[in-house]
Amino acid sequence: MRVLFFGMLGTLTRWPLAALQAAEVELCGLVLPAEIVPPFELVGNGRSSLPLTPIRPQLSTLNLPTLGQIASPLALAASYSVPAFAVRQLAAPETVAALAALQPDLICVSCFPQLLPPEILQIPRLGCLNVHPSLLPRFRGPAPLFWALRAGVAQTGVTVHFMDEKFDTGDVALQRPFPLPTGITHTELETTLAQIGAELLVEAVQKADAGTLPRQAQPPGVTSNPWPREADFALDTNWSAQHAYNFMRGTGNWERPYPIQFDGRKVWLETAVAFSEAGQLPEPIHRHNDVVQIQFSPGVLTAVARHW
């Protein structure tokens, strides 16, 4: 079983890639977007405009601090002598030919930001698998953690699915739910889902090799969520205070203010401090210096205000 891996440099790539290596899966290549690879790591120091460029990790790369005890993808690849590539044009004939020459049986993807063109989808005999941090078909698109928290769902999870020519619409292979703890931060949630995704991906690869990997078509008519806009950070007092608290805690990595409207005026919140499930204020909002208490339905949210 030869696996070609597509990813980025962050948590959702590091854990699945490390898990495949720990499971002694034969990785025949690592592909990263060229824009995230430092020029000095590229053959030709980034001066080449080739659609696919080999990466030669420098000592500085291999000594980068680990993220949650998992080394960077380039360090992982180098430690196992896995060839790494920076891609500029996925559909270019040179790219397709070079990746086909690696003879992968399976392509695995986790957090890679581009659609794989049909020419690449057709390379591996066993297909292409993607790790997506939601329970598809819900929360398709590039920011599933944000939209799950905004929706106030009680649980999210991870899906490993077969890839097709659209984002996150291919047949589901494996899924695992994860109940959302109150107040979980983005870092905590992303790391947990990356660990779950790593376990699921290893299981999926092993089942694909054995010919026992299931696949179930997703239902039609489900749309994808877009990249969040400024208006999507607005809070709604019809939410529960717990919903607002969890949303702010889990999306703090965006470093955006959270606007909320009261009687024609707008307040911008910065940080959620606490909430009371059944609290009741004598007025919709109470302010003490930069700390505000806001009545929701039900409960009271305590937060730090950015603008008043």
Q: What are the pLDDT digits (tens) for 30-59?
A: 999 999 998 888 887 666 678 999 998 764
Tokens 């790494």 belong to 84
The CA distances from residue 284 to 83, 205, 233, 244, 290, in Å, are 59, 53, 20, 15, 16
Q: Are 168 and 141 in contact (CB under 8 A)?
A: yes
Answer whether 113's CB lies under 8 Å from 192's CB: no
**Tokens found for residue 198:** 């790593």
Torsion of CA 128, 33, 8, 213, to 10 degrees: 0
Per-residue pLDDT tens listing for the chain (308 residues): 999 999 999 999 999 999 999 999 999 999 999 999 988 888 876 666 789 999 987 644 555 545 556 888 999 999 899 999 999 999 999 999 999 999 999 999 999 999 999 999 999 999 999 999 999 999 999 999 999 999 999 999 999 999 999 999 999 999 999 999 999 999 999 999 999 999 999 999 999 999 999 999 999 989 999 999 999 999 999 999 999 999 999 999 999 999 999 878 889 999 999 999 999 999 999 999 999 999 999 999 999 998 66
Q: How far is Cα 302 from Cα 285, in angstroms, rounded to an integer?
A: 10
Residue 201 tokens, joined: 């991906």
Q: Looking at the DSSP assignment, which residues form a beta bridge with residue 5?
A: 30, 108
Quote the CA–CA distance of 99 and 129 in Å, as a whole number: 16
DSSP class of 117 = P
Alpha carbon 26 to its chain centroid, in Å, reads 24
pLDDT of residue 60: 45
Residue 31 identity (one-letter amino acid): V
> CA-CA distance, 99 to 81, in Å (whole number)?
17
Q: Which pair of structure tokens corresponds to residue 280?
A: 């009741």
C-alpha–C-alpha distance, residues 122 and 125, integer Å: 7
pLDDT at 13: 97
Please count the CA atoms within 13 angstroms of the CA of 109 that sit on its side-chain side. 22
**pLDDT at residue 45 in the model:** 65
Domains identified in the chain and CATH numbers: 2-210 (3.40.50.170), 230-307 (3.10.25.10)
Beta bridge partners of 276: 300
- What is the structure's pLDDT at 46? 60
pTM of the predicted model as reported, rounded to 2 decimal places: 0.94
pLDDT digits (tens, 9 = 90+) for 129-168: 999 999 999 999 999 999 999 999 999 999 999 999 999 9
